[in-house]
Structure 1
Amino acid sequence: MRIFRRIFDFYINSSIHVGFSCYALVRMTQYMFHIPVSEPVASFAFFGTIVGYNFVKYDALARAKKVKMRKELKAIALFSFCCFLLVCYYFFLLEKITQITAIVFLSITLLYTLPFFPNRVNARNWAGVKIYIVALCWVGVTLGLPLLDAGTPIGLDFYLKCMQRFILVFVLVLIFEIIDLANDDPHLKTVPQQIGVKRTKIVGLSLLLPFYFLEFFKSNLNKNQLIINLILVLMIALFLIFANEKRSKYYTSFWAESVPIIWWLLLLLF
């Protein structure tokens, strides 16, 4: 059993799971906008998410704190480097406009992690900004890149989906912030730190309403999508309601991050 636990922990800690979540949302975008399946875009998002998340998570350990790397961290570093090579490979298979946009979101990720100005903290530590940067990057990578690469015209449906996707990620990050409340730096001024856990849950539950009803404004209303979105809203609501500081790391790092994957699988089943 120990070996399976170590494999599972590596799967979580190396950001493979969150990479699959990003991959699932790209596939969702391709389906919703009737885009032919493009493996380069989906794979670029998958491997890019792994590299980006691992860089953000472990940069402080490897660079700032100078902590001696354990075997697992060395394995994650090697794995991330291999993923980086694959990111480079798929990057050159993308359209020019998609490459430029991808570089923009890469720059935002670097700004989020590295201090670009002397005696200044990185964007990750800017009070109250973290949740918006994360949501913006997810919208750009999972919605913007597939549409740009396919040359799909931008219309009302795109803006509606941008709002939906932003709300989805925003609420999921709220769950993370509630779980991490005891460990987060007070200077981060996360939503739970500023308004408390109870009000954070109310905000999250309230945002699920526009997330669901925005679907009715689409040019082509799909009844199956309404059913799937209702299941998704109920599932996220339960995750949010039962979130607290005593939950294990798997509550968010596996279960909450599984929401986009489950959303995509429900779509395939329907």
Structure 2
Amino acid sequence: MRFLKALLDFYINSSIHVALSCYALVRMTGYLFDITEIQSPAWFAFYGTIVGYNFVKYDALARTQKLQMRTELKGIAALSFLSFLATGFYFLQLERNTKIIAFVFLILTLLYTLPFFPNRRNARNWAGVKIYIVALCWVGVTLFLPIVNAGLSMNLTVMLVALQRFVLVFVLILIFEIIDLKIDDPNLKTVPQQIGVKKTKIVGGLLLVVFILLEFLNSDFSFTTLFLKLGIAFTVFLFLLFAYEKRSKYYSSFWVESIPILWWGLVVFLQ
């Protein structure tokens, strides 16, 4: 059991799980827009997420606290390096315009992590900004990147899906912010810090209603897609409803991050 727990912790701490969630959302984009050439954007997103998330999580600690390289951290460093090489390989497979999109979100990731200006904190610590940057990056990588790579136009349907995905990711992050309420720096001014847990859950619930209502504006409306999104919205709502500060780290870092994987899995199963 100890070995299995260590394996699960490495799987989560090395960002493989969140990378699978990102991969699943790219594949969802392929399903929604009937994109056949989806492998390169999907694997670029997968490996890029591992590199980006590990960089965000461990760079500051390594620089400020001089982390000792425990066995797990050495494994994460090795995985990140291999993922960096894989990210570069799949980056070269992308179309020219897609590479520009990918570069833009790379800059956002760096801005999120590194202080670019003297005596200024990074974007991650800018009050109230973190949640918007993360949600925007997820929409860009999982939706705009494969859309541009496939040469599709940015029509109303794409914009509606982008708004839906932004809302969904935003609510998922709210769950993380509720659980991390006691350990987050008060200066971050996360949503629960500013309005409280109860109001945060109300906001999240209302946003999920918006997530569903937007589906009725889609010109490619189908009942199958609607029912799937209703199921996902209800699942997210339950996780939001039962989120509180003393929840296990696995509640958010494993179960909540599994929701995009579940969504894609249901689509594959029903096809």
* Same fold at TM > 0.5: yes
- Distance between the aligned counterparts of 1:37 and 1:201, measured in 2? 38
Deviation at 1:67, TM superposition (A): 2.2
Is 1:168 aligned to residue 168 of structure 2?
Answer: yes
Deviation at 1:37, TM superposition (A): 3.6
- Distance between the aligned counterparts of 2:85 and 2:161, measured in 1? 31
- Distance between the aligned counterparts of 1:100 and 1:168, measured in 2? 25
- Distance between the aligned counterparts of 2:142 and 2:135, measured in 1? 11
Deviations 1:165-196 (A, max 9, x none): 00000000000000000000000000000000
Conserved in 1, the CA contact under 8 Å of 2:22 and 2:46? yes
* Structure 1 length-normalised TM: 0.99
Secondary structure of residue in 1 paired with 2:182: coil
| Match in the other structure for 1:266 | 266
Deviation at 1:88, TM superposition (A): 0.4
| Match in the other structure for 1:197 | 197
| Match in the other structure for 1:249 | 249
| Match in the other structure for 1:119 | 119
Conserved in 2, the CA contact under 8 Å of 1:62 and 1:69? no
- Distance between the aligned counterparts of 2:240 and 2:215, measured in 1? 22
- Distance between the aligned counterparts of 2:96 and 2:174, measured in 1? 35
| Match in the other structure for 2:224 | 224
- Distance between the aligned counterparts of 1:261 and 1:220, measured in 2? 23
Deviation at 1:90, TM superposition (A): 0.5
Deviation at 1:53, TM superposition (A): 0.4
Conserved in 1, the CA contact under 8 Å of 2:37 and 2:150? no
- Distance between the aligned counterparts of 1:223 and 1:87, measured in 2? 36
Structure 1 stretches of 4+ with a deviation exceeding 6 A read none
Which residues in structure 2 correspond to 1:24-103 (within 5 Å)? 24-103=24-103
Secondary structure of residue in 1 paired with 2:115: coil
Deviation at 1:69, TM superposition (A): 2.2
| Match in the other structure for 1:140 | 140
Unaligned runs of 5+ in 1: none
* Structure 2 length-normalised TM: 0.98
Deviation at 1:267, TM superposition (A): 1.3
- Distance between the aligned counterparts of 1:139 and 1:194, measured in 2? 25
Aligned pairs, number: 270
Paired AA for residue 59 in structure 1: D
Conserved in 1, the CA contact under 8 Å of 2:29 and 2:143? yes
Unaligned runs of 5+ in 2: none
- Distance between the aligned counterparts of 1:125 and 1:45, measured in 2? 24
- Distance between the aligned counterparts of 2:109 and 2:153, measured in 1? 27
Greater shift, 219-228 or 243-252, is seen at 219-228
Conserved in 1, the CA contact under 8 Å of 2:236 and 2:259? yes
Output the aligned Cα RMSD.
0.7
Between the aligned residues of both structures, percent identity stands at 64
| Match in the other structure for 1:207 | 207
